[in-house]
Amino acid sequence: MKLNSIYHILLSYFLLAILSNFALQGQTVFNPRSPINHPILLSGSFGELRATHFHAGIDIKSKNGVTGDPIYSIEEGYVSRIVVRADGYGNAIYVSHPGSFTSVYGHFEEFAAPYSDFVKQTQYKLKSFELEIKPEPGQFPVTKGQLLGKMGNSGTSFGPHLHFEIRNTKTDRPINPLFYGFRPPDKRPPVISGIKITQFTSDSIEYNSQKFIASANGNGKYKLKTDTLIVDAEKTGIEFSGYDQMDGVYNKHGIVELIMKVNGKIVYQYRVDSFSFEEAKHIYAHVNYTSFFQDKSKYQHCYILPADPLKIYRNSGDNNALISLKQNEKQQIEIIARDFNNNESKIRFWVKRSSKTVTKPSPLIYNYILDPGKPALVNEKSAILYFSDSAIYARMFLHFTQSNSTEKPYQSPYIFINNGFKIFKEKVDLFIKYDSLTPEKLLKTVVVECGTGSKLNSYGGDIFDTYIHAKINRFGTYVLFVDTIPPVIKSKNFKSDMTGLQSVSFTIDDNLESENRSNELRYYGYIDDQWVLFEYDKKSKTITHRFEKNLPKGTHTIKIELRDGKNNLTVFKDKFIK
């Protein structure tokens, strides 16, 4: 056995000992069982890069690709939290165990009886489908292996699976569950798909990047088409694209450890074993979002932005792992990608600065330079942007302009905030001037983002002097829009004779997408003028009411009131026989 792998095994055991509080708790040995009865195969791994966060758990596949597999508590304890949401983890249960461990189970199809009854009672009491309950320790004790519910697809889930987490109860930090023995078979090394060279000005402002496709060279080794990359800039950052693969599944998983060496010396090391939820949202500092939004390719930085608060970096060399290039001097770059089982892949190449002297790097169109740590107020004719001192991760160019005129159906010129595509560290205040709007229209005015999908993306809006204000989280094109269009309710299976049907479903939709839940649809459903529970599945835009067994035979009325973020109302009303 190589020294290297012995070192890694020792490191894993050492980490396990710390993470499990083994040394501190003494008598408590956390030795959980599997949450399912079939072998564990994963469709998602811990720490993998999602669009808006690092994945805080593992996604466990169903036995046969359908919902309904029983899910069990991995250890004794008590149910400490029950959450029902139309998105996110959907129907979720949290179990607290001795020794400061909490296990989290998401996307249930249905909860086991004591929890489902309790949830339904609470939903009727609060007249709300979505809820979060924190039962007292004595209310729902569980034994090891107690049934919690059935595997499902509720919330933001695209196929039946169990989202499973282990957290430290005291800190609420998720830890890779693979440390506790939930080990799927994995002898396959990661795949390296590409390398990106991002160029920086001499004062460390990013200005462009170039992609190079990697190909396998056998034995876990990868190469680029040309092994020496010529770069114009004095400073460059290396970015990596790749994924892990596990035995018996086709899914692409996250890389657990990434190491970059320059001329044989480690200058960057990333390893994701545990993080806080506060950290998880700072994936925007770790991933190149310009390329993600251009072509969905995920490149992760092998350098660290100055105001990146993530603590998953073990090593950042000098200069945050940015590489200073000299003319005609090759520097050797080696990147090593590892999975949890220490299967590894490597790529090696050289970078060299071209003989060109870069006076003005291109493309470089900007009218402001922003610095992290310094608040900034920038002003255009029709708009103001306010950046707090913690709004950005790195020094950046900002191109802040507006169009010459107002085009229908909008109420302001287009406001352009760009230079590549960046997501802010903290939301930024955008104020857009309105001209002649009636008070009623003013109340319905929202800031919308254009050009990201088929629908306008609403950020909401409140009146601030002669401006409409909203908090935005990224570069883009923004404009004012008066939203007087009510949302839409469409029947999925409603008919005047509902005899023999178990449930009634409708789709609900709006003309605007909702950013930051600012244009959240709110609905109330009634049968015979009594509030009834409609379950909401956001991904399919569906609300469903399951008829009660005690609903008397005969004619009934049904009414649904649906409101968008600006209080535009649609009412569906009809009669049916049951």
Scanning 8-16, 160-168, 376-384, 431-439 for contacts with Zn ion by CB under 5 A, the matching segment is 160-168
Decide if 491 contacts 573 (C-beta within 8 A): no
**Between residues 152 and 565, which has the closer beta carbon with respect to Zn ion?**
152
Cross-strand pairs, 392: none
**Between residues 163 and 563, which has the closer beta carbon with respect to Zn ion?**
163
* Shortest distance (Å) from residue 164 CB to Zn ion: 8
Scanning 157-165, 313-321, 344-352, 365-373 for contacts with Zn ion by CB under 5 A, the matching segment is 157-165
Please give the size of the binding site for Zn ion, defined by CB under 5 A.
3
- Out of 19, 48, 59, 538, name the contact with Zn ion by CB under 5 A: 59
Is residue 85 within the footprint of Zn ion (CB under 5 A)?
no
What is the helix, strand, coil percentage profile of the chain, to 5? 10, 45, 45
Q: What angle do CA 97, 100, 104 make, to 5 degrees?
A: 55
**Between residues 59 and 257, which has the closer beta carbon with respect to Zn ion?**
59
Scanning 52-60, 62-70, 179-187, 201-209 for contacts with Zn ion by CB under 5 A, the matching segment is 52-60
Of residues 5 through 44, those in contact with Zn ion by CB under 5 A are 44
Decide if 261 contacts 334 (C-beta within 8 A): yes
Decide if 116 contacts 179 (C-beta within 8 A): no
* Shortest distance (Å) from residue 157 CB to Zn ion: 8
Q: How many residues are present in the chain?
A: 578
Long-range contact set of residues 25-30: C-beta below 8 Å, sequence gap at least 24: 25/99, 25/100, 28/98, 28/99, 29/99, 30/75, 30/97, 30/99, 30/101, 30/180
**Between residues 59 and 537, which has the closer beta carbon with respect to Zn ion?**
59
Q: How far apart are CA 472 and CA 453, in angstroms?
A: 17
Scanning 22-30, 156-164, 216-224, 532-540 for contacts with Zn ion by CB under 5 A, the matching segment is 156-164
Q: What angle do CA 87, 569, 534 make, to 5 degrees?
A: 40
**Between residues 164 and 289, which has the closer beta carbon with respect to Zn ion?**
164
Is residue 163 within the footprint of Zn ion (CB under 5 A)?
yes
Scanning 54-62, 215-223, 435-443, 482-490 for contacts with Zn ion by CB under 5 A, the matching segment is 54-62
Of residues 463 through 522, those in contact with Zn ion by CB under 5 A are none
One DSSP character per residue, 153-202 reads --SS-SSSEEEEEEEETTT--EE-GGGGT------PPPEEEEEEEEEE-T
Scanning 163-171, 202-210, 226-234, 316-324 for contacts with Zn ion by CB under 5 A, the matching segment is 163-171
Decide if 190 contacts 245 (C-beta within 8 A): yes
**Between residues 52 and 215, which has the closer beta carbon with respect to Zn ion?**
52
**Between residues 183 and 225, which has the closer beta carbon with respect to Zn ion?**
183
**Between residues 176 and 291, which has the closer beta carbon with respect to Zn ion?**
176
Q: How far apart are CA 256 and CA 273, in angstroms?
A: 7
Q: How far apart are CA 110 and CA 428, in angstroms?
A: 39
- Residue with the CB atom nearest Zn ion in the bound state: 163
One DSSP character per residue, 21-55 reads THHHHSS-------SSSSPP-EEE-TT-B-SSSB-
Q: Lay out the site mask for Zn ion across 101-130 (x = CB under 5 A, - = otherwise).
A: ------------------------------
> What does the binding site for Zn ion look like in residue numbers (CB under 5 A)?
44, 59, 163
